[in-house]
Amino acid sequence: MTTFARALTRCEYIYSDLCCVATCCESKQEVVVSGARHKANDNPAKTGFKMRAIALVTLLFLAYGLVTPFYLQPWSKITLTLHWPQTFCETAHCKQHFKYWTLHGLWPNTGMNCNNTWKFNMSEIQDLKPDMDKYWPNLLHPTSVQFWSYEWHKHGTCATSVESLNSQHKYFSKALELYKQFDLTNTLKNAGIEPSEQNYQFDDIERCIWQHFGAQPKIQCVASTKGEHVQVLGQVEICLNRDFMPIACEKSKEDLWSRVNDVLLNRFSAPSPFHVCDFGTPVHYPVVTENKTRH
């Protein structure tokens, strides 16, 4: 059952319960409103109509609650997302290649596109551009400004509920700071996990990241294009609390309602090729193509 279908089912259950309350009140000839008990109208049909009207209005308020953006409340988790360029470029026509993990984004768990009036302004982060070009590139285009603008509008505007991220400069500089702090390229390399024609066990990769950063990451793979019984390492998510300390990347109530909101508001994006890696399937960490490689 899809998230949207589950949300509709939830509404149906609520409406059914409300109607049951209405029927019960009809039989007792009583109506309970705002905690006060009032004697019902002597006409049962009229009373039933009123109670069902109350049930419907209540349902509409509950439905509004389902679609009210959760990002109106402060986020409780933010995800530093890094991807391995070679894996991404095997499914797309990249304009440049890198021999290190690059930034995909910094994503709070409270929705997307939170403030469409807060436009991206490159001049505010001009001093960050050298590091942005190096660590947060658009793999599909020679210039990355459009990609940064997309990330700001989709995720950055939702992160501004905390003072440390309440401007474009703070948001992008914090992402770069976290990228350097959680140096995934060298973390894996120092554990003997490097791009290779040989495959790795998923447990070895997860244990390396988990032990080094102190919390369970979310590791994502893509299916092998060669038809082998192997998955290809593609993306790693490092989850952080409001103090930017690592926490386990587990689903929470906030994440669930954020996704329900996105579905009900038709905030769909293109399907991602990434999926959570299978624990028992070997992992391929592909060697970077040397053509047009950035070091």
Query: 155, 206, 237, 284: which one is catalytic?
Result: 155
Contact of 159 with 114, CB cutoff 8 Å:
no
Other C-beta atoms closer than 10 Å to the C-beta of 69 total 18
| Pick from 198, 192, 217: nearest CA to 206 | 217
Residue 170's alpha-carbon distances to 75, 163, 246, in angstroms, are 16, 9, 19
26, 83, 97, 151: which one is catalytic?
151
Q: Is 155 a catalytic residue?
A: yes
Q: For 34, which DSSP code?
A: T
Q: How far apart are CA 220 and CA 235, in angstroms?
A: 5
Determine the 3-state secondary structure of 71 from DSSP.
helix
163 is catalytic: no
Give the pair of three-digit tokens for residue 175: 């992402």
Alpha carbons 92 and 166: distance in angstroms, whole number: 34
Catalytic site includes residue 93: no
Q: Phi and psi dihedrals of 139, rounded to 5?
A: -70, -20
d(CA 84, CA 100): 7
DSSP-based three-state secondary structure for 218: strand
> Using alpha carbons only, how large is the chain's radius of gyration in Å?
25
Catalytic residue among 26, 83, 97, 104: 104
Active-site residue set: 104, 151, 155
